[in-house]
Structure 1
Amino acid sequence: MVRRMLRRERPDALLPHVTVLAIRAELPTVADDVVATIIREVPAYEDAFGGPMGETIRTAVQIALGGFLSLISDRTGPDALAPQSSAVDGAYQLGRGEARSGRTSDALLSAYRIGARVSWQHLSTQAVAQGIEPATIASFAELVFAYIDELSAASVAGHRDESATEVRIRQRMLERLGRHLVTGAPEATVLASAERAEWSLPTTLTVVVAPDAQVGTLLQSLRRALPVPDLPDLEGAALILVPDVHGKRRATVLRAVAGRDCLVGPARPWQEVRASYDRVMRARELGLVGDTETHLPRLVLTADDGALADLRARVLAPLDDVRPATAAKLRETLRAWLLHQGRREEVAAALFVHPQTIRYRMGQVRELFGEALEDPETVLALTIALGVEESSG
């Protein structure tokens, strides 16, 4: 930009070589003044510039201004772009370093504004002392500030690129940590991964499985949630680990997932988060949604499908010789009878039939099952078998 201005807009701003030499001799003083003023006026740099970093910045100021002086000397040749290019590259790297140091781009821009002001005070004083005409000094001023704007823009670009890179790297580290937790990696591996990701391990973790389209929104509303993408068992969905939403705080995550076709597992100590994952995956296999805590009976009763089938076949065997339509009505009636503890009016209301119908059907059931209906173990087995039958239907 400055080179273009010199060629097309401000060719009158070129300074005599002797003036450039005089200004160049002042650069160490300029650099010292710039650093001192930045330390005084920008709190973020108060400690940073006190040691080696201060000397690095002094050198950078001298290199940057030296490149500028080479550019505007009336002895400018075809290679004058090299000092400017070197200064711009240095400014870009400075921005990256500031991002790594944790300082903001606002602090960096403040430092540049101070540097521009202090530098111009020194440069203009020397230019006047060398007898430069006011018109030339005005053009010179425009070039100085354009040059520093170019450097500051390069530093901001470096800061932005480094920040984006750090975000991507940390995101990958967090995802790796999430996979270690879910796959049950050794505790030492998890601890090392958490330290690298700068993520303090919580007391508990809760697994949430959400459709891919909902993940971004949920991560914004669930504080410190860990995404675990690309798990082979979750086609079209992603897993999120939510820290410390146990007890009364569980309502937080349930509100966040409401209406989003998600599954929420139980809270578990972070070392046992695999148990939360397994429960969610089991609920997903059954086509359930929402809070797995509300599906516990179904999850428990279907934990061993083979055992359940055997149980149903055994305890419901007295209905095997009954016509299918009649057997279905008797199963329905027996289930309601067990759930309502034999209260005929409530059973009738639940099935939308007359109480006399319930009396008749239960008479048939007693004939078929006999004294087994008085046996607590049989009653428990029937309750399990018929409860699962109803929920499966």
Structure 2
Amino acid sequence: MLKGGAREIQPRGRRRTDYRQTTSGVMMAGKRWGNALAPILSVASQGIGVGQLILLLARVGANDATDVYLYLFNMGMLPTQIVTVGVVFPMLLNRERITARLARLIRRWIPFVGSGFVLLAAFWMALNGRLEELLLPIVAASVVNAFLQARVWIRAIGAEAAGDPNWISGIAIPANVLAVGALLLPLPTPELLIFAMVSALAVANLGLLVFMTVRKVGDKSFSELPVSRLQGSRAETWFLTKAGVSYGGLAVIQSMAVLLPPAVLTILSVAAKIVASLVATFVNAVMPRVIHRESSSLRPSMRFLSFLYIGAAVVGAGIVGFAAVFGGELLLPAVCVALWVVGAVANSVAQRTAYRFLPPNASRITISIVPIVAVLTVASTLSPNFQLATLLCAYAAVDASTGALLLAALKEKLNAVVAGMAVIAISCLWVLSLL
């Protein structure tokens, strides 16, 4: 305003800038970019991870060294999957939040537990005559990598709980990129090349951890935790039981591969990686848009699952056709993987839909699936015909059975029937593999 009450005249064709609106617009644009970046990072991470495995097999083939690397890597991740992902993350979101003291203990000790699991896995391999002296440097590098990887994951899930999914989506990109570089080195032996690759994983995770620490990634989630909760709360016990049973049972199933000839564990891990990558690429990137906190109907997710069944059938037919043409001995494992893809997409969509539309205790419906399958897998090792296809059927049975039961609980009869038919087919193949 000018003196005398006269209005300030703005030049024609120009408007006063509202900086609050501008700032809000920039923030909204940043949020939209952040939402779009997470799926891109996820797809890139999965793609580079598969590329790393392909390059590894192209350089050294499937042998004892690759078995050791893949088995120790998975066992080193097990405590992180059970406690960090299965307990800490949901309790950062749950109304009965994890206490600051418990979170501090987990952040301090889970990295050491991860390294300890690597040593236990190495002992199991040595007990079965699968760990030669030349492979011990790979064990040492795996111990270090498991420790650093656990620290990185703790910070990433803290950021995810605070609403930033980018760190968890791209968490493996630096390590996988550096590992690919290591695999291109002209090293003379498979053992030395894999040692260089695992060391590259550790170096990349160390660099990422330093960067995340400087940026204080995830600190906000852990700095706002309550000192204590009301007495009688058993939230952490429930989450720990659910995650421990699921991931622990799968670890038992994978450990049975150590009893089979060299390279079987590598092939099993590659198959698991392919199925997980397909699910992550085509399901995880889309489901948050289909099912979210504001969703009022499960119909969109069920329509999406119907299309996924068609896509899974096409992918499965391609896998079986490739095996039939180029390797007849791989036909039975290929059929198992094809059915696994169907079960995996059913389970992934059903799990996310159940989180939104079923009560928390609905997990009791499926909590016994993994232990039952694990017991049947251990029993199957008594057969002289126990083989790779048996283990593939076990993995597929876990996903397909869980998906079928959850879809039935959601009263989605048609989709549940499709998953149930996959369970029946997998069961038949399991029996056939032992005959």
TM range (shorter): under 0.3
TM-score by length of 1: 0.24
TM-score by length of 2: 0.22
Bigger Rg, which one: 1
Greater share of residues in helix:
2
**Which is bigger in relative contact order (C-alpha 8 A, separation at least 6)?**
2
